[in-house]
């Protein structure tokens, strides 16, 4: 089978085109289309050359991945230069959109990190014999952290981003209080803190609900974005069409 039709090439080509769609989002349509088509052409030519010279699919995929990764700073610099030509209102909207996405992703990372930390403390407590088994009160945070971890990759796709943010709102609202309860079982410091701060639980719920509100707001915003803006322009890959000028 030719390397052009190998699953390794198709996977990496899709990833590179997705990245190209990401950094050309919001730019002038002809500029964005030009860059996307040029990258699609490059990917095809690279695969055709690999096929002629007998390069293995895995090696081709690795080479393409490296070329894409090494070019990321230049891609971002190019985007920044192109954004200077965009209307200031549009530029502001793009920056606000990027800030919202960053905020929601950071909340997801925080949730997942908190869940991971609780798992680490639980395992440690089991290993050193602080606890004999995992108490029910300690199970909530790892489960909520896992939900956040599963929702995070979905944030990458513009189509499912809104739903991922909605899902993320659930663990975000609950995980801080759940982590507090779990750590109360396995951490002496948490016991001290909880006993000294009787209002810790309402405070954790307040923080969680505030962050969950950010997730829900972002989800509503993304649900109301026109489908054209969310999906962007359909990428053109070999066999699925010919790029426009």
Return residues touching another protein (CB under 8 A). Answer: 16, 34-35, 37-42, 44-46, 48-49, 63, 66-78, 236, 238, 242-245
Residue closer to another protein (CB basis): 39 or 162: 39
To another protein, the closest distance from the beta carbon of 226 in angstroms equals 28
**CA nearest 60: which of 76, 42, 73?**
42
Is residue 181 within 8 A of residue 138, CB to CB? The reply is yes
Give the max Cα distance, the chain.
72
To another protein, the closest distance from the beta carbon of 128 in angstroms equals 48
Is residue 10 within 8 A of residue 57, CB to CB? The reply is no
DSSP character string of 139-194: THHHHHHHHHHHHHHHTTSTTTHHHHHHHHHHHHHHHHHHHHHHHHHH-HHHHHHH
Q: Tokens 């990496």 identify what position?
A: 12
Residue closer to another protein (CB basis): 88 or 239: 239
To another protein, the closest distance from the beta carbon of 243 in angstroms equals 5
To another protein, the closest distance from the beta carbon of 115 in angstroms equals 35
Residue closer to another protein (CB basis): 181 or 238: 238
Residue closer to another protein (CB basis): 51 or 172: 51
To another protein, the closest distance from the beta carbon of 132 in angstroms equals 55
* Cβ neighbour number for residue 161 with a 10 Å cutoff: 22
Residue closer to another protein (CB basis): 60 or 174: 60
Residue closer to another protein (CB basis): 30 or 195: 30
Query: How far is the C-alpha of 245 from the C-alpha of 41, rounded, in Å?
Result: 12
Spell out the SS3 assignment of 45-114: HHHHHHHHHCCCHHHHHHHHHHHHHHCHHHHHHHHHHHHCCCCHHHHHHHHHHHHHHHHHHHHHHHHHHH
To another protein, the closest distance from the beta carbon of 74 in angstroms equals 3
């Amino acid at each position: 089978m030719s390397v052009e039709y190998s699953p390794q090439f198709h996977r990496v080509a899709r990833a590179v085109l997705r990245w190209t769609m990401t950094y050309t989002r919001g730019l002038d349509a002809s500029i964005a289309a030009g860059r996307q088509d040029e990258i699609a052409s490059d990917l095809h030519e690279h695969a055709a050359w690999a096929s002629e010279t007998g390069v293995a699919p895995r090696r081709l995929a690795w080479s393409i991945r490296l070329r894409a990764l090494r070019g990321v700073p230049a891609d971002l610099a190019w985007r920044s230069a192109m954004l200077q030509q965009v209307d200031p209102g549009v530029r502001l909207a793009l920056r606000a959109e990027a800030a919202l996405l960053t905020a929601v992703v950071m909340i997801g990372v925080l949730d997942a990190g908190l869940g991971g930390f609780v798992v680490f403390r639980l395992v440690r407590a089991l290993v050193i014999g602080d606890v004999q088994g995992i108490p029910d009160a300690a199970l909530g945070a790892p489960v909520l952290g896992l939900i956040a971890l599963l929702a995070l990759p979905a944030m990458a796709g513009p189509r499912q981003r809104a739903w991922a943010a909605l899902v993320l709102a659930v663990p975000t609202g609950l995980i801080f209080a759940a982590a507090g309860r779990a750590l109360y079982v396995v951490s002496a410091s948490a016991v001290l803190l909880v006993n000294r701060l009787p209002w810790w639980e309402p405070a954790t719920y307040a923080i969680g609900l505030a962050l969950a509100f950010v997730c829900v707001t972002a989800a509503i915003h993304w649900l109301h974005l026109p489908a054209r803006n969310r999906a962007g322009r359909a990428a053109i890959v070999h066999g699925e069409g010919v790029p426009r000028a």
